[in-house]
Amino acid sequence: MRLVVFDVDGTLVDSQHLIVAAQGVAFAEHGLACPERREALSVVGLSLPQAFRRLVGEDGPIEGLSESYKRAFNALRLDPDYEEPLFPGMGDLLAKLHARNDLRLGIATGKSRRGVEHLIAANGWEGWFATTQTADDAPSKPDPAMLRQAMDEAGAVPSATMMIGDTTYDMAMAVSAGAAAIGVAWGYHSPGALFGAGAVTVVDHAGALADLFSGPLPPA
């Protein structure tokens, strides 16, 4: 049985405007200057403490920023100006993969479990994923624990597992776990960075990603 694990932000969902806005609120609450947009998005995929540690350093108000961000994110999510649309073609791709009986789907994300449950409910994906791993379940990417737990829960082996993500954290996690690392070019890290972190291929649209499932998995 093959396992296909998806990252969320920057891979399935275009949440950049919501993420940047929530970071802005968090930094303002702590009297800190908000990082530039590119820097703010560079940490997407990490757990909140890890993300803020990179943005403000070990001595910054990491816990406070994390709590402020969560409150702001949950409030802004209700604002239509900050919707989280799926990237083109990804909803259809998931539906087609879910209908197949030769593979299982999973999620491995820096989002909280609450955020993942909201995403699944909003898109009608209940029961589609054999495993959902979140920031509440394992150390932050690029630690491989999250992906290893996904494989254990789904009953898959590394050689039959594909990790699809948009950041170097996803690629490094996949490499460490022995899975195939597949990058998508529409997210928050460049294709060159993804290849540098171990991606075996980087696709630039959902159709090219779908083509990968017509044959054997790319080698890890």
Angle at 72 between CA 114 and CA 126, to 5 degrees: 25
Active site residue 9: yes
Give the type of residue at 218.
P
Q: Report the alpha-carbon distance of residue 214 to residue 178 in Å, rounded.
A: 21
Which DSSP symbol is given to 46? B
39 sits in which H/E element:
helix 37-42
- Active-site residue identified among 7, 14, 137, 170: 7
CB 72 within 8 A of CB 95: no
CB 155 within 8 A of CB 135: no
- Active-site residue identified among 9, 14, 137, 166: 9
Active site residue 137: no
Which DSSP symbol is given to 103? E
The residues annotated with a catalytic role in the active site are 7, 9
